[in-house]
Structure 1
Amino acid sequence: MVEAQALQGIKGPLSIAAGVRDIVFTSAKRHESEEILDKLDVPHQINLFSDVEHGFAVRCDLSKPRQKFAKEQVFAQAVAWFDQYLIV
Structure 2
Amino acid sequence: MADFMQLRAGETYRKRRNVSSSQSRRLLRFDSESVDFLCSGFLPENNERRGGALSARTKMEIFLRYLGDPGLQSGVTEDCGIHRQQIDKLGS
TM class by smaller structure: 0.3 to 0.5
- Please, what TM-score do these two structures have when normalized by structure 1? 0.32
In terms of fraction of residues, the more strand-rich structure is 1
